[in-house]
């Protein structure tokens, strides 16, 4: 009986040892590497499955085949939006700093780290030489005598144009950028915050009489201003005002005569501040104009100064609406 048990014990121990060695072989580093490789491959397949991404960019189909790595932001509003979404590290160059008074304080540190492609409008030579694979740029940088989107595609550059005329269009741009760069949650939260802040201003202004607003970019033989289809006109309205030229809708930017301005009797003059001339120089020009000098808003210094990038579609919608309404209804 004891011999039989001993033999059985030995056989069982031998079997256990064999099984243990076999199991160890399966769990060896080489086996682990195979499992990791399989997992990594599955992860890559899942990630790759999100591409290509296809977007309708104001009637033009934009196809993004892979996550961009080298981005040009053509316009201070475009640059600041990328920073706001945490995407500054992707930017290899920006343009139109001459259309800016600088970023908001919370974005300044990141903004200053980004290389300048061109101080003013982006040139074909600078863009082609940049080796960018993605461009997010304001619409006036493209077409006719500006950058040719089809040519840029030949250099492997995907162009997503910033051309919003409504809040919903700009929100969609933000959500699209979030999807392209895999920061959808950040983009959605940013849009939600913009909506909430703008709604708060509208709730506060309910029942107030809208002031008539002259948008003043610059003047010489007339006033260069924004029409009713300009994104700025929308911001003026959301803040509780009325663009005195909102009935003109054939193009976004227009030149009107001084007499037309006088006839529409603005209550407030909204002045764009950027490179040159300065806002204070523009105010001096207005006060020196014999026709403008007849307006009560000029006599009473009813001027609101706003950075140019603040009235462009981008990241500052709520900021601008808050700034404008404070100017309209200040005591």
Share of the chain above pLDDT 90, in %: 81
Architecture of domain 53-163: 3-Layer(aba) Sandwich (3.40)
Instruction: Give the domain ranges of the chain.
Output: 53-163, 208-328
50 band by pLDDT with thresholds 50, 70 and 90: confident
Residue 8 confidence (pLDDT) above 70: no
Reduce the secondary structure of the chain to three states and give it as a string.
Answer: CHHHHHHHHHHHHHHHHHHHHHHHHHCCHHHHHHHHHHHHHHHHHHHHCCCCEEEEECCEEEEECCCCCCEEEECHHHHHHHHHCCCHHHEEEEECHHHCCCCCHHHHHHHHHCCECCCCCCCHHHHHHCCCCEEEEEHHHECCCCECHHHHHHCCCEEEEECCCCHHHHHHHHHHHHHHCCCHHHHHHHHHHHHHHHHHHHHHHCCCCCCEEEEECEECCCEEEECCCCHHHHHHHHCCCEECCCCCCCCCEEEECHHHHHHHCCCEEEEEECCCCCHHHHHHHHHHCCCHHHCHHHHCCCEEEEEHHHHCCCCCHHHHHHHHHHHHCCC
User: Domain 208-328 adopts which CATH fold?
Assistant: Rossmann fold (3.40.50)
Residue 319 confidence (pLDDT) above 70: yes
309 band by pLDDT with thresholds 50, 70 and 90: very high
| Per-residue pLDDT, 256 | 97
Same fold, 53-163 and 208-328: yes
220 band by pLDDT with thresholds 50, 70 and 90: confident
User: What's the whole-number mean pLDDT along residues 139-153?
Assistant: 93
| Per-residue pLDDT, 276 | 83
| Per-residue pLDDT, 17 | 39
35 band by pLDDT with thresholds 50, 70 and 90: very low
Instruction: Name the residue among 168, 299, 285, 267 with its Cα closest to residue 224.
Output: 285
């Amino acid at each position: 009986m004891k011999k039989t048990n001993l033999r059985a014990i030995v056989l069982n121990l031998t079997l256990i040892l064999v099984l243990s060695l076999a199991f160890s072989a399966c769990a060896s580093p080489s086996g682990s590497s195979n499992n990791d490789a399989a997992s990594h491959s599955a992860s890559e397949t899942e990630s790759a499955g999100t591409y290509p991404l296809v977007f309708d960019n104001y009637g033009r189909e934009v196809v993004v085949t892979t996550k961009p790595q080298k981005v040009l932001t053509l316009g201070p509003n475009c640059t600041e939006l990328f920073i706001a979404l945490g995407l500054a590290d992707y930017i290899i160059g920006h343009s139109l700093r001459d259309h800016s008074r600088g970023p908001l304080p919370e974005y300044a540190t990141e903004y200053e780290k980004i290389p300048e492609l061109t101080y003013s409008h982006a040139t074909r030579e600078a863009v082609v030489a940049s080796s960018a694979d993605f461009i997010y740029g304001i619409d006036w940088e493209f077409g006719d005598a500006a950058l040719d989107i089809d040519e840029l595609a030949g250099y492997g550059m995907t162009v997503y144009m910033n051309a919003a005329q409504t809040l919903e269009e700009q929100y969609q741009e933000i959500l699209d950028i979030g999807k392209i760069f895999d920061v959808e949650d950040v983009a959605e939260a940013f849009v939600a915050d913009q909506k909430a802040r703008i709604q708060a201003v509208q709730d506060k202004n309910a029942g107030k009489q809208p002031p008539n607003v002259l948008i003043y970019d610059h003047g010489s033989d007339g006033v260069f201003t924004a029409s009713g289809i300009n994104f700025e006109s929308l911001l003026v309205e959301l803040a509780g005002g009325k663009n005195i030229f909102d009935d003109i809708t054939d193009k976004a930017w227009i030149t009107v005569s001084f007499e037309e301005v006088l006839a529409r009797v603005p209550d407030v003059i909204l002045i764009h501040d950027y490179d040159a001339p300065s806002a204070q120089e523009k105010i001096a020009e207005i006060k020196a104009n014999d026709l403008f000098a007849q307006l009560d808003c000029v006599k009473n210094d009813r001027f609101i100064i706003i950075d140019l990038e603040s009235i462009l579609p981008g990241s500052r919608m709520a900021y601008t609406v808050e700034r404008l309404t404070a100017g309209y209804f200040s005591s």
